[in-house]
Amino acid sequence: MKDQHAHENCIEACLRCAAACLECASFCLKEEDVNSMAKCIQLDLECAAICKASAELMSLGSQHSMDICRICADICEACARECSRHENDHCQRCAVECNACAEECRKMELAGQE
């Protein structure tokens, strides 16, 4: 039951992160200087995509869950770094969710190595 609980936490973190990234990308597109937000938007979209895929594979009980969690954590960390560079609220919220998701994904990755 403990493993199932950890799995659920990671799935939920991935889904929250995907939503935050999509919201961030949407708000970034409305910024006055949208060109300065291009890297942030790109990472937001990549992060949302990998988070949704990770949640889906974990929900399926895929044997590749740990592999995708590692990649998901890497992309979440990159997105968090980029978002934290921007002072607006939506980027800051996104960075928090990305860091939380990366942490949950790293826990899943480590659990898979045991």
**pLDDT band at 102; cut points 50, 70, 90:** very high
Residues of the chain with pLDDT > 70, as a percent, come to: 91
Looking at residue 1, its pLDDT comes to: 38
**pLDDT band at 32; cut points 50, 70, 90:** very high
What's the mean pLDDT in 21-29? Answer: 98
Residue with tokens 């990770």: 54
**pLDDT band at 25; cut points 50, 70, 90:** very high
Helical residues (DSSP H) of the chain, grouped into ranges:
2-28, 38-60, 65-84, 89-113
Q: How many domains are contained in the chain?
A: 1
Write the CATH number for 72.
1.20.1270.360
Higher pLDDT, 58 or 3: 58
Buried b (16+ CB within 10 A) or exposed e, 37-70: beebbebbebbbebbbebbebbeeeeeebbebbb
- What angle in degrees, to the nearest 10, is found between the helix axes of 65-84 and 2-28? 40
CA distance 61 to 7: 9
Domain containing 7 equals: 2-113
